Structure 1
Amino acid sequence: MSLQLNVPFEEKEDAKSKGAMWDAAAQTWYLPEDRYDLLMEVDKWIPEKNTPIILSSELTIAHADRPCWKCDHSNRVIAIASNYFYEKDMNERDEAVWLEQNFFTLFQQISDISSNLQAFLKDYYPDYKSGYSQTADGYYWYNHCESCKSIQGDWFLFDEAGSVFNPTEKDAAARIILKNFQLKYAPLIDAGYTYGDHLRLITEFATQGGED
């Protein structure tokens, strides 16, 4: 779960003193996961400034099937998931901190995604892309219908009880497939996430699809 950093040449010694390491093959600086206690020390070198969530470099994608609300075409829809992640927040002293969140969740209302995750999605899931939502009044990353290209809104996939990513029964959770992909560096996002029994059902009964 190493985190890629954008360190100017003139600041390399400073970055090194704060725990950053050099990847000669990729020609980039990074922070190893075992040094994530130093995240705030290297925060200014994190390339993606609007992405306060660091995911694991072993990326989990949840898959489900749902007909398009507009044309009724049967679509594979996905959700970005994680068993643990780091989130930038404010502590009780009103100081910025990176907190480890050690639980499974699915992310929705995703507004920003790091470049390495964008490249991954373009290659593997081209129908999951940025689109403008009048309801949300902004651009977010959504599933799109493979046929008519309509946005498949997050409410109908995540928030509505009994929807594909909000199962209320174990049989529905078992129809979700979780696949893992190994990225070189940790992806980052700006998104919302939830808690609840539906996530427990997914972790217990979803099909483990392995690596793709």
Structure 2
Amino acid sequence: MPIKIDVPFSHKDEAKKLGAVWVPDVKTWVIPDHIKDINPFKVWLPPNGGTFVKYPYLIAQSERECWKCHKTTPLIGLGAKVYITSVFDSIWTIYDYPAFFVDIKSVDIAVVSILSERFPFFRETYSKTLKKNVWVNNCIHCHTIQGDDYNIDRSYVFGGYQNEKRTLFRGKQMEQIQLRFDYYIDSAIYEGEYYWDGFQEAE
């Protein structure tokens, strides 16, 4: 799917020359999907980096016992099979490798709309521990944050992740949501092919 970019009117000829396309019904410029290297468009991409999630757009569903009230509460995790990411104005690089997104600071408004309607327990919440707003699961009973560190075991051994890493999304339902454009997310990325049961079926 195309990637939306913020092109000022004075830059439109330059963007068009690089291959950007104007979409009149939503009044935005996009990078067409056939363009794999988006670095020539860097001036119109988020200046602090982040990630563009490529189709298919995945939501994994699971549940856990709330650490506070001990009742069962649902969880979701935003996932991707393919994504383009950049860190602190570095090169935008494409990865064809399964990933979940954690420590989510912001997410595209199109995804926010779906989350608000279907998964209201996954919302932007102030974390006293992190001292900032993040997108996280909240218990449907007591509304306590079910932090990423509770849902994904991120232990280290000898400088790398253990191969037996666990996630509460393993082997759970992986749903594909429908969006018109590839969406942007500002988050950390938790990747690892060997424990992503369910990604193969999420075509």
TM range (shorter): 0.7 to 0.9
Q: What CA deviation, in whole Å up to 9, does each residue of 1:133-154 have, x standing for no partner?
A: 2222322110011122111111
Distance 2:113 2:147 in 1: 22
Deviates more, 1:76-85 or 1:1-10: 1-10
SS in 2 for 1:36: coil
Matched, 1:101 2:87: no
SS in 1 for 2:79: strand
**Given that residues 98 and 196 in structure 2 are in contact (C-alpha distance below 8 angstroms), is that contact kept between their aligned partners in structure 1?**
no
Aligned to 2:180, which of 179, 184, 191? 184
Distance 1:33 1:58 in 2: 13
**Larger helix proportion, structure 1 or 2?**
1
Matched, 1:44 2:52: no
CA RMSD of aligned residues (A): 2.4
- What is the aligned partner in structure 2 of residue 169 from structure 1? none
**Alignment TM-score, normalising by the size of structure 2:** 0.83
**Alignment TM-score, normalising by the size of structure 1:** 0.80
**Given that residues 112 and 140 in structure 1 are in contact (C-alpha distance below 8 angstroms), is that contact kept between their aligned partners in structure 2?**
yes
- What is the aligned partner in structure 1 of residue 75 from structure 2? 77
**Given that residues 69 and 142 in structure 2 are in contact (C-alpha distance below 8 angstroms), is that contact kept between their aligned partners in structure 1?**
yes
- CA distance 1:181–1:195, shift in 2 (3 Å): closer
Deviates more, 1:49-58 or 1:98-107: 49-58
**Given that residues 83 and 104 in structure 1 are in contact (C-alpha distance below 8 angstroms), is that contact kept between their aligned partners in structure 2?**
yes
- Uncovered stretches (5+) of structure 1, i.e. residues with no partner: 166-172
Aligned length: 193
**Given that residues 156 and 163 in structure 1 are in contact (C-alpha distance below 8 angstroms), is that contact kept between their aligned partners in structure 2?**
no
Matches within 5 A, 1:25-64: 25-37=25-37, 39-46=38-45, 48-50=46-48, 52-64=50-62
Distance 2:47 2:60 in 1: 26
Distance 1:89 1:108 in 2: 15
TM-superposed CA distance for 1:190, in Å, is 1.7
Distance 1:83 1:26 in 2: 27
- Uncovered stretches (5+) of structure 2, i.e. residues with no partner: 155-164
SS in 2 for 1:44: helix
- CA distance 1:104–1:14, shift in 2 (3 Å): same
- What is the aligned partner in structure 2 of residue 168 from structure 1? none
Distance 1:195 1:59 in 2: 15
TM-superposed CA distance for 1:128, in Å, is 0.7
**Given that residues 99 and 190 in structure 2 are in contact (C-alpha distance below 8 angstroms), is that contact kept between their aligned partners in structure 1?**
yes
Where do 4+ consecutive residues of structure 1 move more than 6 Å?
none
Matched, 1:120 2:114: yes
TM-superposed CA distance for 1:60, in Å, is 0.3
SS in 2 for 1:33: coil
- CA distance 1:122–1:31, shift in 2 (3 Å): same
Identity, % of aligned pairs? Answer: 24
Distance 2:65 2:202 in 1: 22
TM-superposed CA distance for 1:30, in Å, is 0.6
